Amino acid sequence: MLQIVENPARNLWQTLAARPALNLWSLMDTVKEIFDDVAANGDKAVIKYTEKYDNVTIPNYQASEEEINGAEALLPEQLKVDMLKASMNILKFHSLQRFETNKVETTDGVTCWQKALPIEKVGLYIPGGRAPLFSTVMMLCIPASVAGCKEIILCTPPNREGKIHPAILFAAKLSNVKKIYKAGGIQAIAAMALGTDTVPRVYKLFGPGNQYVTAAKQYASFNGVAVDMPAGPSEVLVIGDETSNPEYVAADLLAQAEHGPDSQSILVTTSKMLALKVAQAVDRQILHLSRKSIIDQALANSRIVVLKTLQQVIDFSNLYAPEHLIVEINDYELLIPRINNAASVFLGHYTPESAGDYASGANHTLPTNGNARAYSGVNYDSFVRKVTFQEITNMGIKNLGPVITTLADHEELDAHSNSVRIRIKDIY
Amino acid sequence: MLQIVENPARNLWQTLAARPALNLWSLMDTVKEIFDDVAANGDKAVIKYTEKYDNVTIPNYQASEEEINGAEALLPEQLKVDMLKASMNILKFHSLQRFETNKVETTDGVTCWQKALPIEKVGLYIPGGRAPLFSTVMMLCIPASVAGCKEIILCTPPNREGKIHPAILFAAKLSNVKKIYKAGGIQAIAAMALGTDTVPRVYKLFGPGNQYVTAAKQYASFNGVAVDMPAGPSEVLVIGDETSNPEYVAADLLAQAEHGPDSQSILVTTSKMLALKVAQAVDRQILHLSRKSIIDQALANSRIVVLKTLQQVIDFSNLYAPEHLIVEINDYELLIPRINNAASVFLGHYTPESAGDYASGANHTLPTNGNARAYSGVNYDSFVRKVTFQEITNMGIKNLGPVITTLADHEELDAHSNSVRIRIKDIY
């Protein structure tokens, strides 16, 4: 049964909000070795590591046009229709995020503005696993394509037959992404970060992955490649009170737990009764779920925390800084202004995390492990840079020039002052 | 005299666009040692390293209220007035960047939106040096304060007398930033990343610094602290043609070069005549500049590239991806849509980089070393997270539920489907 902690003292909260520890630093020697090998030997190295880790030899590891175009025929009709519906929602929400330029004249004759420019080359990583994570393909390809990225590269590990699941190929094709490579793990990240004869070098890397992929992305960030965010095991924090439906809450905790043995599901509530009912409902519902053994392991890292007031509940949630926050209470609107740290928030009794995982339109690539304190989830912004433009007229530099020279002179940068004075003296 | 390269073949461009190499990886052992020491010994370690590297012992290294409030009286009136004017422009431009929420109903009953939430705790690093970099204080404190960050921490190395320059204290006070610490280098970054009894732990680190500070920020990013961007030596690329004023262009190249011996100034032009005149003007203007020896070293890394067409010029610029791009030609408007990679763009003959360095309102904390390909400069966005909210009604989940369950079932996540089905069955 889920552990229930009642009214813990404030000084215990930090411990209750702890995640299973990750130590990526210890993986860096392995990462560096594979990066060095890919830098020196390119595709040969990538193919070698695919043999070693994915147990398959693929001399030409780019997915062919036939494979990509043939994927559609291999999928059931209902799946394709529903992938399209989900894609439309993701497209709608991310299109709304497009940036519009505003100009401002800060001083007479001095105009500044920002312009969003797409990152030209981006690399998307889709992890392997038992089932194809085509939803993550949609969550990365659609915003990249809304942003207008010119070159979108996708890497995902092949199965034992050297193939990529057709649902992944179809999801990529929906966004017109066609440069798809059968490579996974550190070697895929290295190929995209460094470039090989087959894989173009990219400027920013996206997507989830295991600890090796995460460490490889961090290493890449040392070598001039940007990354979306540090990845980690998935997590949910549910806020409940006496108005919550214990069956819904239990289902949400279980949905999170099935992601992996290191997932974490936390319920924080003012209601002891809810805590007990949810714990019972979890035990009941789990019997019907196919990933029971994974869920059991995840629930061992999970807990229910009972606190006295909703203010304490939201304080705990802000301390935890959850990837997913579900506020399953009648009065959820009252809590919205008090949410400081969370990556994606689900409001009310009918907004399960699954909706955002797949189809509501929101992105599911989100910061975990408390990184919601400083990082946004993947969104339109992740695929653009806001470039600053400024345009100064001759009268503008006459107006602003004296301010610039005073400041530059006090920073003892007289070549800076000179670049202003040399212009002002020409203006009458 | 500045090196002039005429009509280089395309395959040489990459070499001409190269920066002096940086190898941060080799510094990581030193960084890790100091982080471990600060983690174990807190303030004691910070004080020890300040003794070692800054040659001063400061047992209580937080700037006192008296020091902060007393700074104003120590500064000349004109400097304070002009700092205020520059601050107002920076405030105007960064306030304009504030994010407004838009809601979208992606499916009937399914509403998604983003909300910008300030990062609660941020750490700003201001490097030391001969002259006080108060302009960087303004460039970091003002957007942090526009974003609404609750706790803004500033670290800067003390001088030999254990003091911080009053212009730095005054600039911070203009933004009501009061938690100021006399600590620099790796130990300052470690203190902010880990927290000590004196320095609060922050969630994101900002600001320029030498290679040790840069390596320390990268190391911090491994340990759950976000960073603004990888830093590096400053650089400018000027685009010129036969309409450019060679004296202005020379002054801009020199202004960039005085930042440091590893700075880089590049002129790319269609006009051989301009190239020659600029090289001469550089030699002439440099005689009157106080940082001549630094400039001489920087100019050794610098060059003029003559190309045949403006399209080639902009292609070269996009390949270089400059931190600062100055387009000093009559027809600069024609080039705007073709600029893909640059961090901050200065348009026309009267828009020197110095304007953006100090007072136009644009930020001067910008990605260098080609990182403009993937990173924005510091702006309002840097201090917030865009948190996703979604709100689904009972009819909304009835509409969208079947899409979610199809997708979840195909990813073999039946606890996800269960969390939707358990709700739908209650809705009639």
Burial class (CB in 10 A: 0-12, 13-18, 19+), A4: middle
Please list the alpha-helical segments (H only) found in B8-133: 13-16, 28-41, 43-54, 65-70, 77-96
Which tens digit of pLDDT belongs to each residue from B123-165? 999 998 778 999 999 999 999 999 999 999 999 999 999 999 9
List B121's β-bridge partners, or say none: B151
Residue of chain A whose alpha carbon sits nearest to that of B24: A222
Question: To the nearest whole angstrom, how far is the Cα of B6 from the nearest Cα of chain A?
Answer: 26
Are A350 and B397 an interchain contact pair (Cβ–Cβ within 8 Å)?
A: yes
Query: Residue B131's pLDDT is what?
Result: 85
Q: C-alpha angle A56/A62/A68, rounded to 5°?
A: 105
Question: Which residues does chain A have within 8 Å of residue B88's beta carbon, measured at their own beta carbons?
Answer: 106
Query: Residue B21's pLDDT is what?
Result: 72
Q: Average pLDDT for residues A328-357, to the nearest whole number? A: 98
| Interface contacts A/B by beta carbons within 8 Å | 401
Measured distance between the N- and C-terminal CA atoms of chain A, rounded to whole angstroms: 83
Best probe of the A interface among B389, B412, B417, by most A CBs < 10 A, is: B389
CA distance B117 to B99: 10
Which tens digit of pLDDT belongs to each residue from A64-121? 999 999 999 999 999 999 999 999 999 999 999 999 889 999 999 999 999 999 999 9
Task: Give the global pTM.
Answer: 0.97
Q: b/e per residue, B279-311, with b = 16+ CB within 10 A? A: bebbeebbeebebeebbeebbebbbbbbbeebe
Residue A79 exposure: Cα atoms within 13 Å on the Cβ side: 20
Is the interface score ipTM higher than 0.85? Answer: yes
Assess contact for A425 and B352: CB atoms under 8 A. Answer: no
Query: Residue A130's pLDDT is what?
Result: 77
CA distance A79 to A231: 28
Are A89 and B83 an interchain contact pair (Cβ–Cβ within 8 Å)?
A: no
Confidence of residue A400 (pLDDT cuts 50, 70, 90): very high
CA-based nearest residue to A184, from A221, A216, A149:
A216
Query: β-pairing, B384-392 with A344-347?
Result: parallel
Query: Residue B422's pLDDT is what?
Result: 97
In this complex, is the C-beta atom of A255 within 8 Å of any C-beta atom belonging to chain B?
A: yes
Measured from the Cβ of residue B64, the count of other Cβ atoms closer than 10 Å reads 10
The full DSSP string for B218-271 is HHHHHTT-EES------EEEEEE-TTS-HHHHHHHHHHHHTT-TT-EEEEEES-
Assess contact for B308 and B7: CB atoms under 8 A. Answer: yes
Residue of chain B whose alpha carbon sits nearest to that of A90: B106
As a whole-number percent, the residues of chain B with pLDDT over 90 amount to 93
Question: Which residues does chain B have within 8 Å of residue A418's beta carbon, measured at their own beta carbons?
Answer: 251, 254-255, 285, 288-289
Smallest Cβ–Cβ distance between A290 and the set B342, B407, B414 belongs to B414
Measured from the Cβ of residue B58, the count of other Cβ atoms closer than 10 Å reads 18
CA distance B152 to A177: 42
As a whole-number percent, the residues of chain A with pLDDT over 70 amount to 100
Segment 5-34 of chain B within 8 Å of chain A by CB: 24-25
With 90 as the cut, is the pLDDT of residue A21 above it? no
Are B357 and A388 an interchain contact pair (Cβ–Cβ within 8 Å)?
A: no
Tokens of B169: 């204290």
Query: Residue A426's pLDDT is what?
Result: 92
Assess contact for B133 and B127: CB atoms under 8 A. Answer: yes
Are A394 and B83 an interchain contact pair (Cβ–Cβ within 8 Å)?
A: no
Query: Residue B271's pLDDT is what?
Result: 98
Q: Average pLDDT for residues B356-371, to the nearest whole number? A: 97
Segment 144-163 of chain B within 8 Å of chain A by CB: none
CATH superfamily of A24-227: Nitrogenase molybdenum iron protein domain (3.40.50.1980)
The rounded mean pLDDT for chain B is 96
B24 vs A212, which has greater pLDDT? A212
Question: Which residues does chain B have within 8 Å of residue A369's beta carbon, measured at their own beta carbons?
Answer: 224
Query: Residue B223's pLDDT is what?
Result: 83
Segment 38-57 of chain B within 8 Å of chain A by CB: none
Set B258, B324, B328, B353: catalytic member: B324
Set B235, B258, B323, B328: catalytic member: B323
Question: To the nearest whole angstrom, how far is the Cα of A190 from the nearest Cα of chain B?
Answer: 16
List A123's β-bridge partners, or say none: A153, A205
Best probe of the B interface among A400, A409, A417, A427, by most B CBs < 10 A, is: A400
Measured from the Cβ of residue B113, the count of other Cβ atoms closer than 10 Å reads 19
Q: Average pLDDT for residues B362-370, to the nearest whole number? A: 96
With 80 as the cut, is the pLDDT of residue B249 above it? yes
At B242, give phi and psi (nearest 5°). -70, -10
Question: Which residues does chain A have within 8 Å of residue B391's beta carbon, measured at their own beta carbons?
Answer: 347-348, 351
List A266's β-bridge partners, or say none: A237, A303
Which tens digit of pLDDT belongs to each residue from B15-41? 999 887 777 778 989 999 999 999 999
Same fold, A24-227 and A232-376: yes
With 90 as the cut, is the pLDDT of residue A227 above it? yes
Rg of chain A (C-alpha set): 25
Query: β-pairing, A110-118 with A103-107?
Result: antiparallel
Best probe of the B interface among A134, A379, A410, A426, by most B CBs < 10 A, is: A410
Segment 113-142 of chain B within 8 Å of chain A by CB: 114, 117, 119-121, 130-135
Question: Which residues does chain B have within 8 Å of residue A166's beta carbon, measured at their own beta carbons?
Answer: none
CA distance A305 to A266: 8
Could you give the C-alpha distances from B69 to A38, B58, B180, in angstroms and in order? 56, 20, 12
Q: Would you kindly state where each structural domain of chain B is located, as residue ranges?
A: 24-227, 232-376, 393-427
**Per CATH, domain B232-376 is 3.40.50.1980:** yes
The rounded mean pLDDT for chain A is 96
CA distance B250 to B240: 11
Query: Residue A101's pLDDT is what?
Result: 87
Residue of chain A whose alpha carbon sits nearest to that of B214: A222
Which tens digit of pLDDT belongs to each residue from B258-281? 999 999 999 999 999 999 999 999
Residue of chain A whose alpha carbon sits nearest to that of B327: A391
With 90 as the cut, is the pLDDT of residue A134 above it? yes
Which tens digit of pLDDT belongs to each residue from B181-219? 999 999 999 999 999 999 999 999 999 998 899 999 999
Smallest Cβ–Cβ distance between B420 and the set A92, A225, A354 belongs to A354
CA-based nearest residue to A292, from B266, B133, B413:
B413
As a whole-number percent, the residues of chain B with pLDDT over 70 amount to 100
- B349 is a catalytic site residue: no
B49: left (phi over 0), alpha (psi -120 to 50) or beta: alpha
Are A397 and B247 an interchain contact pair (Cβ–Cβ within 8 Å)?
A: no
CA-based nearest residue to B49, from B70, B63, B35, B62:
B35
Q: Average pLDDT for residues B80-86, to the nearest whole number? A: 98
CA distance A121 to A117: 12
Report the SS3 class of residue A107: strand
Confidence of residue B304 (pLDDT cuts 50, 70, 90): very high
Confidence of residue A231 (pLDDT cuts 50, 70, 90): confident
Question: To the nearest whole angstrom, how far is the Cα of A7 from the nearest Cα of chain B?
Answer: 26
Confidence of residue A223 (pLDDT cuts 50, 70, 90): confident
- B410 is a catalytic site residue: no
Question: Which residues does chain B have within 8 Å of residue A386's beta carbon, measured at their own beta carbons?
Answer: 376-377, 379, 381
With 90 as the cut, is the pLDDT of residue B339 above it? yes
Confidence of residue A224 (pLDDT cuts 50, 70, 90): confident
Query: Residue A131's pLDDT is what?
Result: 85
Query: Residue A106's pLDDT is what?
Result: 98
Tokens of A236: 């949910």
The owner of tokens 């590891």 is: A61
Assess contact for A359 and A89: CB atoms under 8 A. Answer: yes
Question: Which residues does chain A have within 8 Å of residue B351's beta carbon, measured at their own beta carbons?
Answer: 390-392, 397
Set A323, A328, A353, A364: catalytic member: A323
Query: Residue B94's pLDDT is what?
Result: 98
A428 vs B381, which has greater pLDDT? B381
Could you give the C-alpha distances from A235 to A224, A229, A232, A325, A342, in angstroms and in order? 30, 16, 9, 9, 11
Question: Which residues does chain A have within 8 Å of residue B361's beta carbon, measured at their own beta carbons?
Answer: 104, 106-107, 110, 112, 390
Assess contact for A118 and A150: CB atoms under 8 A. Answer: yes
Q: Which residues are within 8 A (CB) of B72 and not within 5 positions of it... i.e. 6 or more apart?
A: B80, B166, B170, B173
Q: Which residues are within 8 A (CB) of A189 and not within 5 positions of it... i.e. 6 or more apart?
A: A123, A125, A155, A205, A209, A213, A216, A217, A219, A220
In this complex, is the C-beta atom of B357 within 8 Å of any C-beta atom belonging to chain A?
A: yes
Measured from the Cβ of residue B424, the count of other Cβ atoms closer than 10 Å reads 16
Confidence of residue A232 (pLDDT cuts 50, 70, 90): confident
Query: Residue A31's pLDDT is what?
Result: 96
At A107, give phi and psi (nearest 5°). -140, 155
Q: Letter for the amino acid at A348?
A: G
